[in-house]
Amino acid sequence: MKIEFSASQPSDVRLIARVVNQGDDLTDLDAALADGAKAARFAGRAGQVFEGFVIDDGALRRIALTGAGESNSSDRRLHVERAGAALMAKYLRSGETEMVVDLGHADLSGEEAAAVLLGLRLRAWSHEKYRTTLAKEKRITLEKVTVVGSPDGTEAAWETAAAIATGTEFTRTLVAEPANVVYPASFVAMCEDAFKGTGAELIVLDEADMEKLGMGALLGVGQGSERESRILAIRWNGGAKDEKPMVFVGKGVTFDTGGISLKPPGGMEDMKWDMGGAGAVAGGMLAVVGRKAKANVIGVVGLVENMPDGKAQRPGDVVTTMNGQTVEVINTDAEGRLVLCDALHWAQEEFAPERIVDFATLTGAMIIALGNEHGGLFSNDDSLAENLTAAGKTSGDKLWRMPIGPAYDKLIDSPIADIKNVGPRPAGSITAAQFLHRFIKKGTKWAHCDIAGMVWADKPGHSWDKGATGFGARLIDQFVKENVEK
Ligand code: BES
Ligand code: MN
Ligand code: ZN
């Protein structure tokens, strides 16, 4: 979606939209239009859209009002974003090719105006490259948004917000592409492309490198696949030289069949998005790098494909992880933790972070617990957990804290090895977190975000259509902004 700023309203655009606060009087509008809005019970509530038609100088104009809620709401930023998103949802496939958006009426700050545009841009994203026979009336028609009446500071704030949009879109693309397109090596190639010329440094480990490092858990997951496993680190040195980096780690299982503990066929296609944690980290990094954040941040993703095969690992196999602990693989479908334990250990050894946060579509049990409203948050540090929760609230990528502790930890003791990779059925998301916790060094602040319910949506949400949501990218960017940048 092209978004351009203009000092004056183009005269040849039929569709003109404006942002309206709850309770605003509409007296400067055409009287019939204002009456119509009232009759349709348009009250300027966040996400509400009203459309009316007027004849202006003999030309038909389509006038849209989009609600931004109460101007003093504590959720103001998200509400104005919703105003933009709701507009886009209505007009993206409306037949109109251009829209004028007038930001001069709702008493918006520059930041808030940019948030309207962020909503427009995010809601315009779709993944339709494989739909060659889509009916004409269902296709995207809107190509360009011309922004008028923008308050001071809008364009500067938009530079930042546009980087966030680009990062979120990258996450969505990685998540939406099928597993014959996104596999470990191609994930790396897509990142090499996306980060080209940004100043970020990319470090890639192939299977031979990982063997040397002793990553038996990660390699064990990938050994049933024709696709070679990878680890990718994306490094951004935007902060002071002596400053310890903030590290994010993502689960990148590019397809999860379950391995020999094969999943049932119904819905297995969803497991193309089992790399959603890695997608969040890659997109979050692209946002951070794109807006040249003054912080040292590193994103590490563990990339594997979990397939059943003559070479695949078996239930009962014992693997040795990079940090020396042995794992009894009870269930080859509990593979995410096997990938993450080596990725987390390597990231701690390599980059010595004070804080490390992982993102993973780790357990189906997380969806049972929290549905599709919050990601689950597990942490050994209260302030890190609070900061992540807060960043989740401001960014819209919401998290909810879950407990961990020794009583849960002992559920994954193994009779033959140091740990087993699954516990009993109850508290399945917590025992998965406990597994990861065993690979966190003493003194390192760690949080784990189980985002199994968040990366894919069956129905449209505020700023996304059904499909890939982009969850996590904005959370990472917001966390860096609030807690890492000086
Ligand atoms: N990738 C899945 C988790 C998942 C399931 C995410 C459904 C999104 C939707 C993970 O690798 C997995 O299979 N977990 C198992 C763990 C079990 C074997 C202990 C699960 O949740 O069933
Ligand atoms: Mn699995
Ligand atoms: Zn998985």
pLDDT in tens, 376-392: 999 999 999 999 999 99
| Annotated catalytic residue, options 263, 401, 438, 441 | 263
Q: Are 271 and 336 in contact (CB under 8 A)?
A: no
198 CA → ligand 1 middle, Å: 35
How far is residue 37's CA from residue 477's CA, in Å, rounded to a whole number? 38
Strands 230-237 vs 201-205: parallel, antiparallel or unpaired: antiparallel
In three-state form (DSSP H/G/I as H, E/B as E, the rest C), the secondary structure along 275-332 is: CHHHHHHHHHHHHHHHCCCCCEEEEEEEEEEECCCCCCCCCCCEEECCCCCEEECCCC
Of ligand 1's listed atoms, the one at least distance from the Cα of 274 is 1
Pocket lining: 450 vs ligand 1, CB cutoff 6 Å: no
Pocket lining: 305 vs ligand 1, CB cutoff 6 Å: no
Summarize pLDDT for 326-341 with one digit per residue, the tens: 999 999 999 999 999 9
Of ligand 1's listed atoms, the one at least distance from the Cα of 271 is 1
Pocket lining: 276 vs ligand 1, CB cutoff 6 Å: no
Summarize pLDDT for 341-365 with one digit per residue, the tens: 999 999 999 999 999 999 999 999 9
Catalytic residue list contains 76? no
How far is residue 277's CA from residue 473's CA, in Å, rounded to a whole number? 9
- Token code pair at residue 327: 């794992």
283 CA → ligand 1 middle, Å: 23
Phi, psi of 317, deg, nearest 5 = -60, 145
Summarize pLDDT for 205-221 with one digit per residue, the tens: 999 999 999 999 999 99
Of ligand 1's listed atoms, the one at least distance from the Cα of 258 is 13
Of ligand 1's listed atoms, the one at least distance from the Cα of 423 is 19
Q: What percent of the chain has pLDDT over 90?
A: 99
Pocket lining: 333 vs ligand 1, CB cutoff 6 Å: yes
How far is residue 246's CA from residue 297's CA, in Å, rounded to a whole number? 5
- Token code pair at residue 394: 């401001």
What does the pLDDT read at residue 486?
86
What is the signed CA dihedral for 91, 92, 96, 100, rounded to 10 degrees?
A: 70
- The amino acid at 453: G
Q: Structure pTM?
A: 0.98
Residue nearest to atom 17 of ligand 1 (CA): 334
What b/e string do you get for 224-234 counting C-beta neighbours within 10 Å, with b at 16 or more? Answer: bbebbbbbbbb
| Annotated catalytic residue, options 123, 291, 337, 445 | 337
- Token code pair at residue 297: 């941040």
Summarize pLDDT for 58-94 with one digit per residue, the tens: 999 999 999 999 999 999 999 999 999 999 999 999 9
242 band by pLDDT with thresholds 50, 70 and 90: very high
Q: Are 343 and 218 in contact (CB under 8 A)?
A: yes
Residue nearest to atom 3 of ligand 1 (CA): 363
221 CA → ligand 2 middle, Å: 10
Of ligand 1's listed atoms, the one at least distance from the Cα of 331 is 18
Distances (CA, A) of 32 to 26, 35, 36, 242: 11, 5, 6, 64
The radius of gyration computed from the CA coordinates of the chain, to the nearest angstrom, equals 24
- Token code pair at residue 118: 């962020």
SS3 49: strand
* CA neighbor of 471 nearest in space, from 179, 192, 167, 180: 167
Neighbours of 117 (CB within 10 A): 27
What's the whole-number mean pLDDT along residues 299-311?
99
Pocket lining: 232 vs ligand 1, CB cutoff 6 Å: no
SS3 486: coil
Catalytic residue list contains 230? no
SS3 373: coil
Instruction: Tell me the helices (H) and strands (E) count for the chain, helix number first.
Output: 14, 19
Ligand nearest to the CA of 452: 1
481 band by pLDDT with thresholds 50, 70 and 90: very high
How far is residue 52's CA from residue 37's CA, in Å, rounded to a whole number? 8
What does the pLDDT read at residue 465?
97
Pocket lining: 256 vs ligand 1, CB cutoff 6 Å: yes
SS3 40: coil
Q: Are 99 and 142 in contact (CB under 8 A)?
A: yes
Pocket lining: 427 vs ligand 1, CB cutoff 6 Å: no
Residue nearest to atom 14 of ligand 1 (CA): 363
Query: Is residue 10 over pLDDT 90?
Result: yes
299 CA → ligand 1 middle, Å: 23
Q: Are 254 and 227 in contact (CB under 8 A)?
A: yes
Pocket lining: 287 vs ligand 1, CB cutoff 6 Å: no
Ligand nearest to the CA of 258: 2
Pocket lining: 254 vs ligand 1, CB cutoff 6 Å: no
How far is residue 145's CA from residue 152's CA, in Å, rounded to a whole number? 19
DSSP E strand boundaries for 128-205: 144-148, 201-205
Residues facing residue 20 across a β-bridge: 67
DSSP classification of residue 136? G
